[in-house]
Structure 1
Amino acid sequence: MTRNFTWCAVVILGMGAMLSSCSKHPQSAKTGMRYNDKYNGGFQVFAKTHPAPGPGLVPIEGGTFVLGGSADQDVTYDYNNVRRRVTVPSFYMDDTEVANVDWLEYLHWLNINYPGDRELYYNALPDTLVWRSPLSYNEPYVDNYLRHPSFQDYPVVGVTWDQAQDYCIWRTDRMNENILRESGKLATWKDASGKGGGKKAPAGGATAAGGSKEPFNTDIYLNGQYKGAGIDGKKMMPDLNPNAKPAQGSKGKPTRPVSMEDGILKQAYRLPSEAEWEYAALGLIGNTENENITDGKMYPWNGMGVRSAKRRTRGLILANFKRGDGDNMGVGGYLNDKADITAPVRSYVPNDFGLFNMAGNVNEWTADTYRQMSFEDVDDFNPFRGNEFKDKRMADAEKGLLAKDKYGRPIKDPAKAGKKKKWSELSVEQQQAATVNNANALPAGIAAAPPAGTPAATTTPAAVAANGEIKSAAAGKPYNPDARGFEDSTSSVLYGVTTLVNDHSKVYKGGSWNDRALWLNPATRRFMNEDDASAEVGFRCAMTMVGATEIHPDSRPHFVERKPKPYKTKAK
């Protein structure tokens, strides 16, 4: 049984500003105090809703499946996809690969916001030289593939893993900024441009707290460091805090920026984990009935072949791949897969999750660091290998201000401990950071960068032992924030020297326009260095789903969630 798993029943959050309305006067189940009451402290609680996905995403209802289970052979003879039952939580995923037009939008934004920063723009450019081959006339693709309108809906290629990560960060900020501007929580786009009669925001976005010109960043905004004249919108959140005061020069009621508790802003875009990607590609939900999988899959579609069995499209190739030596597109007059290199990102039939091209077209980066035995090593819930635990650097712990780089983004350092630090430890680090900043005469909120070649964690001297090992600030014990090679048995000294596999090796999956059908199997896996690129590798983004994991709870049996009984202060 095949089901097109689009999310029709999702409850759209919209503005997200609706206060909790479980009863006329919602109250705490533990203290009896009313929520959203400006007279008793003003603690605000908002309606618990299932947030809608961000732009371009579709929901993927998670569950258990056999990681590596769809492979019928060890393609690389590496014993690198040992079958393992795991559970993948529900999440969101792009229904298509990121296209050239999407990347050009990114480049355009960088160009208009940082017109003098050629290095930033250059570093974001895909490597179009990936099309060059000594014995193939691919030079037209070098010049045209990224920018010509004919290729605008084709998947972007020549993008490294690092560039894909940067794109995810940029996309997150633009999505959340648009939500806030469209809803009036920030100055509207028209007002921010100076065309709406309001105060024009400075070039580069707006003037953030402290007077610096910088674009919107989600983390900095949530920390209260992006507000003021030219930034604040006309429909900001009401501030019920009894200590709050109206904005300077305003005669209205106190307002505040949006917070995480409001449920308005969305989670960050990111690369999907290897397990998420494989689970989504298989789309077994279309073959599932009451926890029973009626039929397995070798590809994102049903059946053992690669051709359509439907009457109107019978015999057509279901993905863009290389059928054999010298056969990338079929015979003239009847081009079977309709593509010589890549194809538009919405080509062919989507799988049962509604995802296009999860086999063929381009391979896709995943977030995981490659290890041959990852499937045996990773946890069985939300398996992932690639953790580099980081903390946001504080510019002023007393005021709770985050340190920012020159682009207005929070600076993140390797985590110095595996647990929450004591306030006294934060204070010591703050004093040391202030000493460094004062010595370099840096503006408030902008942290000093460590000397070239020095790990960021060593900016706090107490965090590094004599042997160079990072110590936990909490207990003085060794702590390693880089867990990509967790429990590797190979010598860390020789790793990457005696083998091509190292902590910069990232997994990609899916097969491409230039791969044989065996690579279309979702369980197959290959790796490439994170700063390398290929004409056969692109990517799509994912997003974490918060809250309930079930997509259609009303269509299945479930226990009713009971509401707490209201507390009455007066006895009957």
Structure 2
Amino acid sequence: MNVKNLVILLSFSVLAVSCNRNKSGKSSVTGWNYNDKNMGGFQVAKATDQKTGPGLVFVEGGTFTMGQTEEDVMGDWNNIPRRVSVPSFYIDRTEVANVHYREYLYWLNKVFDPTDPQNLPIVEGALPDTLSWRSELSYNEPMVEYYLRHPGFNYYPVVGVSWKQANDFCLWRSDRVNEGILLQKGFVNKQSLNGQQGADNFTTKSYLLGVGYQPPPGKGATSKKNPLKTPQGQPRTNVTMEDGLLLPDYRLPFEAEWEYAAYGLIDQNPRTSTKKKRGEELVQNRQVYPWSQNPNGLRDVRHGSWQGQFLANFKRGSGDNAGVAGGLNDNAFYTADVKSFYPNAFGLYNMAGNVNEWVHDVFRPLSTLDFDDMPAPTRGNKFQTIVKDPSTGEAMVNDTTGRVVMRDVTDEESKNRRNYQRGNVINYLDGDTASQASYGYGTTTLVSDHSRVYKGGSWNDRAYWLSPGTRRFLEEDQALSTLGFRCAMNSMGGAANGKGTRKTGNQFPTKRSKR
């Protein structure tokens, strides 16, 4: 009997191993093995959760009611409530701080020598507008001179940054993070960091396309232990997106994403029959501020209860930006540290107050009625494509920046498509069948195709603007002392990040992706 049981057990073990191998290492379409040089050498990376990029927090997507939550005291009528769905994504835990932006400026000065007249516009074009602190009737020169540079303000939010500058920062951050991953994994030689100058600098897109500057491979790439192989079974020195190592681009969050993340709506009500959570009722929860339903800070037994208090840096009333000495209400006259106050239920700091934040969207008063309800509702698309060298067919690279050259998709190229017929759809549905309506910027309105949305309220705003549903706009090349930004990133995979095991919010233990 024991021998028989042993035979049965071994049979099941072999079968289990065989099933696992078939599941992960063999095509269910052709029957050919993956990652097998004797069967074609087609490489398939292990399906795993996307690695969380530096500074980011995973936000599980869902459905919520976007827009107005209280009386429209400004009479703008630009945030009519509408239910939308937001796919899962990543967003910065904090606003981008002065020290982070100075790191960006340092890299630009290192790679693009400012003594070269060709590089000067790149370096100077990234500098924040520190003059945005000035006012005709107050003395703010110390903030003009020192706010960006002084170590005392290292971890205070960067301000005076235009939408264009914030967008460029996101592009730079994407390249540095991916370059760092390749360095850590040994696919890029560390000595390459010292040789990058001008157009010869690492960008993710040029690296993936194999054009422009290509960093020399590191020891990990040339080693026989390199897990990446060519079809012939030799170590492969170039990493592709299919290998699962590189991250998607950092970008500015869409307005719907930002608003959804600010509310931090996480279902706390288990179903009595199955003990599982559901969130159908959350779309009706019309909380006004990010901390209203926050399980992390309302009753903190360590520091006492914060119930009923405003957990944000904002202007309480006329002339009241701080409170009374010995009992300051938010401990900040201007901005505050990016990790001030309690984070919301997703673990995000200062989604109300401190500084307003740029989002991706072009402003239109009726955006919520116009854009799609799913996926990733947004306005501001301008479809682009890679410019190719007519003689070689390869992607062209900018001679100054080193970035792959992109161009707008033409209407001629789009006319036969069913899902869109124009390359530039910023003013889509703006008033006539050809969508050529003009807002008459500077004549009849301040809205244009370059007007971008910002949200969240600031240190110099009243409580009304702290509600995530409120919205304002500014031209994309302008800046304010009350306006900063944070970055976001797409989540590749399922709604709950891959296998559906990821939990959100800082009330849960942090989960790290295994590689």
- The answer to whether the superposition gives a TM-score over 0.5 is yes
Residue 98 of structure 1: aligned partner: 96
- What is the alpha-carbon distance in structure 1 between the residues aligned to residue 318 and residue 478 of structure 2? 26
**Structure in which a larger fraction of residues adopt helix:** 2
Within the candidate set 386, 393, 413, 1:472 is matched to 413
The 5-angstrom pairing of residues 180-219 of structure 1 reads 180-188=182-190, 191-192=191-192, 202-204=195-197, 214-219=200-205
Shift of 1:25: 7.7
What is the CA-CA distance between 1:41 and the residue it aligns to?
Answer: 2.3
Query: How many Å separate the matches in 2 of 1:555 and 1:183?
Result: 25
Q: Which residue of 2 aligns with 1:76?
A: 74
Over 3 Å counting, the alpha-carbon distance change for 1:225 and 1:303 in structure 2 is closer
Secondary structure of the corresponding residue to residue 422 of structure 2? coil
1:331-361 deviations in whole A, cap 9, x for unaligned?
0111110000000000000000000000000
**Aligned pairs for 1:179-328 within 5 A:** 179-188=181-190, 191-192=191-192, 202-204=195-197, 214-225=200-211, 231-236=216-221, 238-242=228-232, 253-285=234-266, 287=268, 289-293=277-281, 296-302=286-292, 312=304, 314=306, 317-328=310-321
- Equivalent residues in 2 for 1:8-157, closer than 5 Å: 22-23=21-22, 26-68=25-67, 71-116=69-114, 117-157=119-159
Query: Does the C-alpha gap of structure 1 residues 476 and 334 become closer, same or farther in structure 2, counting only changes over 3 Å?
Result: closer
Q: Retained in 1: the 8 A contact 2:35–2:41?
A: yes
Matches within 5 A, 1:377-456: 377-381=370-374, 382-395=376-389, 399-416=393-410
Question: Partner of 1:255: helix, strand, or coil?
Answer: coil
Kindly state the Cα deviation for residue 72 of structure 1 after the two structures are TM-superposed: 1.1
For residue 136 of structure 2, what is the amino acid of its counterpart? P
Counterpart of 1:404, as a letter, is N
Matches of 1:473 and 1:88, distance apart in 2: 27
Whole-Å separation in 2 of the counterparts to 1:241 and 1:555: 34
Task: Report Cα offsets for 1:129-183 as digits up to 9, x if no partner.
Answer: 0000010011110001000000010000000000000000000000000000111
Letter in 1 for 2:492: V
TM-score, with structure 2 as normaliser: 0.83
CA distance in 1 between partners of 2:261 and 2:218 (Å): 39
Residue 495 of structure 1 is matched in structure 2 by: 440
Q: Number of aligned residue pairs: give it.
A: 455
Matched, 1:547 2:501: no
Residue 28 of structure 1 aligns with an amino acid whose one-letter code is: S
Query: Cα distance, 1:376 vs. partner?
Result: 0.5
User: Greater shift after overlay, 148-157 or 309-318?
Assistant: 309-318
The corresponding residue for 1:374 is: 367
Distance 1:345 1:476 in 2: 45
Name the counterpart of 2:452: 506
> Structure 2 vs 1, CA of residues 223 and 203 (structure 1 numbering), >3 Å: closer, same or farther?
closer
Q: Distance in 2 between matches of 1:115 and 1:150?
A: 28
Secondary structure of 2:454 counterpart: strand
Give the aligned residue type for 2:349. F
AA in 2 matched with 1:513: W
Do the aligned partners of residues 397 and 360 (structure 1) sit closer, same or farther apart at CA in structure 2, a change above 3 Å counting?
Answer: farther
User: What are structure 1's unaligned runs of at least 5 residues?
Assistant: 1-20, 194-200, 206-212, 245-252, 417-469, 557-572
* CA positional deviation for 1:254: 4.4
Contact 1:185 1:232 in 2 (8 A): yes
Q: CA deviation at 1:42?
A: 1.4
Question: Which residue pairs with 1:516 in the alignment?
Answer: 462
> Offset of 1:308 from its aligned partner?
6.3
Corresponding residue of 2:510: none
Q: Deviations over 1:507-563 (max 9, x none)?
A: 00000000000110000000111111000000000000001111583489xxxxxxx
Partner of 1:367, secondary structure, is strand
- Structure 1: how far apart are the matches of 2:502 and 2:164? 41
Change in 2 beyond 3 A, CA 1:475/1:374: closer
**d(CA) in 2 for partners of 1:170 and 1:274?**
22
**Contact 2:414 / 2:422 at 8 angstroms: preserved in 1?**
no
Taking the aligned partners of 1:282 and 1:331, their CA distance within structure 2 comes to: 30
**Which one-letter code corresponds to 2:483 in the other structure?**
V
Corresponding letter in the other structure for 1:106:
Y
Question: Which stretch of structure 1 is more off in the superposition, 97-106 or 544-553?
Answer: 544-553
* Residue pair 1:396, 1:402 contacting (<8 A) in 2 also: no
Q: How far apart are the structure 2 equivalents of 1:303 and 1:221?
A: 44
Confirm or deny that 1:163 pairs with 2:153: no
- The 8 Å contact of residues 369 and 504 in structure 1, kept in 2 or not, is answered as yes
Alpha carbons of structure 1 residues 31 and 112: separation in structure 2 relative to 1, 3 Å: same
1:491-520, Cα deviation, whole Å (9 max, x unpaired): 635532421111111000000000000110
- Find the residue that maps to 2:413 and give its secondary structure: coil
Instruction: Report the secondary structure of 1:285's partner residue.
Output: coil
Deviation at 1:291, TM superposition (A): 1.7
Q: 1:401 to 1:553 in 2, by over 3 A?
A: closer
Report if the CA contact (8 A) 1:99-1:152 is conserved: yes
Q: Is there any run of 5+ residues in structure 2 with no aligned partner, and where?
A: 1-19, 270-276, 504-515
CA contact (8 A) 2:386 2:395 kept: no
Change (3 A) 1:370 1:146: same
555 and 131 in structure 1: CA distance in 2 versus 1, 3 angstrom threshold: closer
Alpha-carbon distance, 1:115 to partner: 1.5
| Amino acid across the alignment from 1:388 | K
Alignment-mate amino acid for residue 426 of structure 2 = R
Which amino acid in 2 is paired with 1:550?
A
| Cα separation, 1, equivalents of 2:424 and 2:132 | 31
Match of 2:279, as an amino acid? Answer: E
Question: 1:405, 1:411 within 8 Å by CA — same for their partners in 2?
Answer: no
- SS of residue in 2 equivalent to 1:142: helix
1:299 corresponds to which letter in structure 2? Answer: Y
How far does the alpha carbon of each residue in 1:177-207 deviate from its partner, in whole angstroms, 9 at most, with x for none? 000011101112xx335xxxxxxx63428xx
Mapped to 2, the partners of 1:546 and 1:147 lie a distance apart of 37
Query: In the alignment, residue 151 of structure 1 is paired with which amino acid?
Result: F
Q: Is the 8 A contact 2:453 2:471 kept in 1?
A: yes
